[in-house]
Structure 1
């Protein structure tokens, strides 16, 4: 797999610390070519579960999108997923649309992104051409729906109302499941 060259240093970390932590957590050996950004993930032993390889791949993908290693390492938890939206795919490479939509998702001084993150309990990263969302499956899907609403041009107020409605629904369901 490949990551952008400007993210190679983040993946390796200071004195190789991030790479070393990821290798230990997933039971893998990670080789990074800093000349072209290619990353090779290998199992340390035949017993290494394929899950370890997949988790390492997800964390590296998240760092490549633009997440900090601390946020990307959340993907090592069992219930966490990485959901992506490829803006180049959505807009067919029309850069002015990509830039405009990224601005809508980030919002003034990062306000919209922060509201999406706080309401859904996810992390959202707006990368060069990809938007990444880290969270549990249900919450990441809600964040993705909200971002897709912004991409479609829906007003921010409608997106915020959707987020509040979904947050209440999840909270209500979790409370009722506690009493069962």
Structure 2
């Protein structure tokens, strides 16, 4: 049976490529050996760049050891914050300004100015700022003073890391109107502020009564103790019962410390 014409014409269509001799085994070996030198692989390229930047050592357990990171002195980016000041706190701000800006400038290395026109305190980092959280600490400090805390109490926010400010309103606890609101504020403050001072001393916090808003400065657990006492007074508990609970809590806190 004759072969198909397509099979007979195939060598002619291939031309010289079909008739070219195959390479020897020696040529194959040369090509295989020369390939890595001609085209570097990704692993070798990465190794070269890695050796150029940092030298990596491996310990006895096979874990890599890297050189310590370089110290980054100063803040890389200059940032700014603006803290608005309520109108009724502008006069105390002007009077206490000589005590406010030294901690910000000397301790936190910030640039600060009081903008009387916009009624705000503007903070900005500089090349001398070393702490990355200095701007946030400075903002918290100025904000605490704007809420009504004393300068000496607000400075504690700069020196300690576990202090917070919690704000809530009397209406968040119980809806009161008219004279009922005034009586609730009177129960919290007490005669000549005795109740408020007792809460502060027992819970080791600072409390500010600003109309119907209440600001508490202190640690997380201390804020919880002061808030529970104030909520009890808002709901109508007699001050004597609240004093007894505060004495119990204060004695437990002394035992812990």
Query: Aligning the two structures, in what range does the TM-score lie when normalised by the shorter sequence?
Result: 0.7 to 0.9
1:55 matched residue in structure 2 = 137
Could you tell me which runs of 5 or more consecutive residues in structure 1 were left unpaired when the two chains were aligned: 175-180
1:142 matched residue in structure 2 = 225
Shift of 1:12: 4.0
Secondary structure of 2:84's aligned partner: coil
Comparing 50-59 with 37-46, greater Cα deviation is found at: 37-46
2:174·2:235 contact (CA, 8 Å) conserved in 1?
no
Larger radius of gyration: 2
The CA distance in 1 between the partners of 2:176 and 2:240, in whole Å, is 28
> Over aligned residue pairs, what C-alpha RMSD do you find?
2.7
Secondary structure of 1:153's aligned partner: coil
Instruction: Return the TM-score normalized by structure 2.
Output: 0.58
1:157 matched residue in structure 2 = 240
Could you tell me which runs of 5 or more consecutive residues in structure 2 were left unpaired when the two chains were aligned: 1-82
Is the counterpart of residue 128 in structure 1 residue 211 in structure 2? Answer: yes
1:3·1:38 contact (CA, 8 Å) conserved in 2?
yes
1:80·1:137 contact (CA, 8 Å) conserved in 2?
yes
2:110·2:129 contact (CA, 8 Å) conserved in 1?
no
1:123·1:133 contact (CA, 8 Å) conserved in 2?
yes
1:26 matched residue in structure 2 = 108
1:177 matched residue in structure 2 = none
2:170·2:234 contact (CA, 8 Å) conserved in 1?
no
The CA distance in 2 between the partners of 1:96 and 1:28, in whole Å, is 46
2:21 matched residue in structure 1 = none
Shift of 1:21: 1.8
Comparing 121-130 with 159-168, greater Cα deviation is found at: 121-130
Structure with greater proportional helix content: 1
Secondary structure of 2:217's aligned partner: strand
Number of aligned positions between the proteins: 173
Shift of 1:89: 5.1
Runs (4+) of structure 1 exceeding 6 A deviation are none
1:82·1:134 contact (CA, 8 Å) conserved in 2?
yes
Which structure has more relative contact order (CA 8 Å, sep 6+)? It is 1
Shift of 1:131: 1.8
